[in-house]
C-alpha cells in the first residue's frame, strides 16, 4: 500500500524536524541560551513598551488595554513567524556558504528545506513570553469576547504571522544575488520591534502611511486591534481595509512566495 504523497511529505518533514531538534541538543549550552535569547528579546520589547506607556500616557487616545493588545498580537505573531518561517531571514548564509546548491538537488521544495535546516530553539523563548503577554492582554481586554471577536483575533494572528513571513521572504529575494542584503533584514526586524507596538497615529501621517503601505507592519497588530476595539477612526485606511488585515497577510505571503520562486529560478551558484 503506497502512502499519499502529501502524507509522505508531512512524514519526511516531521522526521527532519525531529532530527534537527536532536542535532540542536548536541550544543546544549547554545540550545538553552537560544531559548533564553527568545525570552530576553521579547522581554526587552515589553520593558520598552511599558516604560514608554508609563511615562507617556494617552497614546493617540487609545486606552492602555488596546495598546497592550497591539503589543501582544505583534509579539505572538512574531513568535509564530519565527517558529514556522524564521530561517528565511538568514537565507544569505545558505547562499554565501554555497549550501543552497545542495538544496536544489533534493526532492523537497527549497523554501521548505531552508525552514527545516535548523531547529528554531529560540522560538520557544519567543513563544513563552508571547503567549504570556497575549493571555495578560486578553484578560485585561475591556471588550466582551464574542465568538466573532475570538475568530477574528485568531485570524489576525495568522495574518500577522504570514505578513511578517511575506516581508522577510520578499527581502530574502535580494539575498540570492547580494548576501550583504541580510543587513536589510536585520534592520527591518529592528524597525518592526520598535514601531510595531504603538498606535501609529501618534507618528506623523507620512510615517504612518509608510508603515502601512511600504513596510506594512500596521496590518500585523495595529489595524486588527483597531477593529477589535472599535478604534477605527484615524487609522489611515478605511475601516473595511483594516478589517481585511488577515486577508492582506495571506495575499502578501502568496505574492512573496511567487516572487521568491522567480528569484530562485534566477539564482546562479558558484559553479555557474
Partner 1 sequence: MSTSVASGVRTVRNALPRLAGVAVITALGDVHSPGRIAARAVRLTVSVLLVHWLWSALYRGTAQSAGLTRTQALAFAILSVLITQINETDRWIARDTVYQHVGSGTIIYWFLRPMAARRYCLVRAVGDRCYGLARAAVVYVVCLAVGLLTAPASSSAAAAFAVTALLGQVVVYQLGLLVDQMCFWMVKNGAVVAILEFVQALLSGALAPLWFFPQWFQLFSSLMPFQATLNVPLSFYTGRMPVQELPEQIALQLAWIAVLTTLTRLLWRNASDKIQSQGG
Q: Which residues bind partner 1 (CB under 8 A)?
A: 27, 29-30, 33-34, 36-37, 40-41, 44, 47-48, 51-52, 55-56, 58, 96, 122, 178-184, 187, 191, 194-195, 202-204, 207
Give the span between the Cα atoms of 136 and 175, in whole angstroms.
38
Cβ at position 62, least distance to partner 1 in Å: 13
Grid cell at residue 143: 471588550
Closer Cβ to partner 1, 93 or 158, answer by number: 93
Closer Cβ to partner 1, 98 or 238, answer by number: 98
SS3 59: strand
Cβ at position 59, least distance to partner 1 in Å: 9
SS3 105: coil
DSSP-derived secondary structure letter, 237: S
Cβ at position 214, least distance to partner 1 in Å: 11
Query: Residue-wise over 241-251: b if at least 16 C-beta within 10 A, else e?
Result: ebbbbbebbbe
Q: Looking at the chain, how many residues does it have?
A: 272
For residue 24, how many other CB atoms are within 10 A of its CB?
Answer: 16
Q: Are 192 and 217 in contact (CB under 8 A)?
A: yes
Closer Cβ to partner 1, 93 or 101, answer by number: 93
Grid cell at residue 260: 521568491
Closer Cβ to partner 1, 126 or 164, answer by number: 126
Cβ at position 107, least distance to partner 1 in Å: 28
SS3 243: helix
Cβ at position 63, least distance to partner 1 in Å: 15
Closer Cβ to partner 1, 13 or 184, answer by number: 184
Amino acid at each position: 500500500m503506497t502512502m499519499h504523497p502529501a502524507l509522505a511529505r508531512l512524514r519526511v518533514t516531521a522526521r527532519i524536524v525531529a532530527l534537527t531538534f536532536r542535532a540542536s541538543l548536541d550544543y546544549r549550552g547554545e540550545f538553552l541560551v537560544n531559548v533564553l535569547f527568545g525570552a530576553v528579546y521579547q522581554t526587552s520589547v515589553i520593558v520598552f513598551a511599558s516604560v514608554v506607556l508609563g511615562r507617556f500616557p494617552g497614546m493617540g487616545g487609545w486606552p492602555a488595554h488596546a495598546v497592550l493588545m497591539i503589543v501582544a498580537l505583534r509579539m505572538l505573531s512574531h513568535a509564530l513567524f519565527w517558529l514556522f518561517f524564521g530561517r528565511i531571514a538568514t537565507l544569505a548564509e545558505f547562499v554565501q556558504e554555497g549550501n543552497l546548491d545542495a538544496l536544489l538537488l533534493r526532492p523537497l521544495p527549497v523554501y521548505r528545506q531552508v525552514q527545516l535546516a535548523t531547529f528554531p530553539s529560540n522560538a520557544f523563548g519567543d513563544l513563552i513570553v508571547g503567549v504570556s503577554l497575549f493571555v495578560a492582554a486578553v484578560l485585561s481586554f475591556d471588550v466582551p469576547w464574542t465568538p466573532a471577536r475570538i475568530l477574528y483575533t485568531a485570524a489576525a494572528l495568522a495574518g500577522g504571522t504570514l505578513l511578517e513571513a511575506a516581508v522577510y521572504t520578499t527581502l530574502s529575494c535580494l539575498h540570492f544575488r547580494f548576501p550583504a542584503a541580510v543587513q536589510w533584514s536585520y534592520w527591518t526586524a529592528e524597525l518592526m520591534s520598535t514601531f510595531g507596538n504603538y498606535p501609529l497615529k501618534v507618528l506623523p501621517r507620512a510615517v504612518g502611511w509608510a508603515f502601512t503601505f511600504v513596510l506594512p507592519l500596521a496590518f500585523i497588530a495595529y489595524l486588527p486591534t483597531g477593529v477589535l476595539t472599535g478604534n477605527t477612526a484615524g487609522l489611515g485606511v478605511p475601516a473595511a481595509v483594516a478589517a481585511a488585515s488577515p486577508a492582506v497577510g495571506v495575499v502578501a505571503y502568496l505574492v512573496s512566495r511567487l516572487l521568491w520562486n522567480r528569484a530562485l529560478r534566477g539564482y546562479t551558484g558558484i559553479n555557474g
